[in-house]
Amino acid sequence: MSHSSHGLTTYQLSDEHQKLSDAVRDFADTVVAPAAYEYDTKRELPYGIIATMGEMGLFGLPFPTEYGGQGKDYFALCLAVEQLSRADQSIGVTLEAGVGLGAMPIWRSGTDAQKQEWLPMLAQGKALAGFGLTEAEAGSDAAGTQTTAELRDGEWVINGTKQFITNSGTEITRLVTITAVTGEAERHDGSVKKELTAILVPSGTPGFTVEPGYDKVGWHTSDTHPLTLRDVRVPEANLLGERGRGFANFIQTLDEGRVAFAALCTGAAQGCLEEAIRYSKSRNVFGKNIGSNQHIAFKIARMQARTHAARLAYYDAALKLVAGQPFKMEASLAKMICSEAAMDNARDATQIFGGYGFMNENPVARHYRDSKILEIGEGTTEVQLMIIARELGFNAF
């Protein structure tokens, strides 16, 4: 991305960004795509592919070189996520969550010691981390958090459960950051609210149990587990950021994460578009390819329009993010626009493929199963509408 001499924003990729995007696209086409059906069927994370992504520096793109990162910007991460997600959303979200939810909170809020301990292994893809926010009674409503952490003799004693936590139970998961109620704080109007704090919990800590993974509709290759914490004890120094600032800091992380998540959605939309174009030009019915039928060509034209609008939406949010400008509304706009584009394109691509589109080995069938979560994860469509409305000055909800 660059700025023209007239001060107008343009979306032409820099040579560096274009080179990265092309390299990840090639990797996605030659390595990720051919293996996607096998790992989707096995419901296994392909550690060899994840290791290669680590060697390519993808997990360290937005982090400084002093912590083992690549010293690039957040937009570089978005481009990589988009290209991976064309081929396999599970691989795309493993990177997006590994960086955005796993490593980024440590980079944003961690102490020097925490950064030095955790970031190099996370940035090099040698380890993964999860972020434990969601609970049975607390998703969109984080104030409903039931997990507690009590400070006793220099240790946090944590009790509670978490659910739907990405990258929390892999062979290379080394920690999960959890949010917990650490007390109560008085509001300006005299009412009391829960004090939410983020705490680092290393994998293998006694009492920290990663429960069996979920039987999901899609994202079969992505690692997702419920977590149980029973009298889990970690040092007081495992506090991440300020006490009582756990949710506020996570909101910042989530705003950033939505931009990368929107890139994931755009990649999914693009993948469906490319498959639909290829198939409609090669599939012959009644002596001609199906793409010569106007209703098929028009359906694909709409898929192109959605993908184009989605990419512009997430580029716009990413441009503001890397420029240090406010981007909360743009992130929510992008997340909503891009997730709907992915779901609509998956539906249309499946229709164009007909019966073949209903076979699991077909990439569009996998996108069809995978894409529904895009309208739910990292803030539902309804939450995005709420944020956009608030940014426009509607504060009644």
Kindly provide the b/e burial profile for residues 5-37, where b requires at least 16 CB atoms within 10 angstroms of the residue's own CB: eeeeeeeebeeebeebbeebbebbeebbbebbb
* Cβ contact 258:320 at 8 Å: no
Q: How far is CA 362 from CA 34, 40, 212, 350, in A?
A: 11, 11, 28, 9
Residue 256 bears catalytic tag: no
Instruction: Kindly tell me the burial class for residue 154, based on how many C-beta atoms sit within 10 Å of its own C-beta (0-12, 13-18, 19 or more).
Output: exposed
In 10 A of CB 216, how many CB atoms?
Answer: 15
CA distance 37 to 349: 18
Pick from 134, 52, 92: nearest CA to 366: 92
Contacts of 115 (CB under 8 A, 6+ apart): 67, 106, 107
Tell me if residue 282 falls in helix, strand or coil. Answer: helix
Instruction: Indicate which residue of 184, 340, 378, 391 is catalytic.
Output: 378
Helices 89-97 and 74-87, axial angle in degrees (round to 10): 160
Residue with tokens 């149990």: 209
Q: How many residues does the chain have?
A: 397
Task: Characterize the bridge pairing of strands 9-10 and 128-132.
Answer: unpaired
CA distance 54 to 125: 4
Catalytic residue set: 378
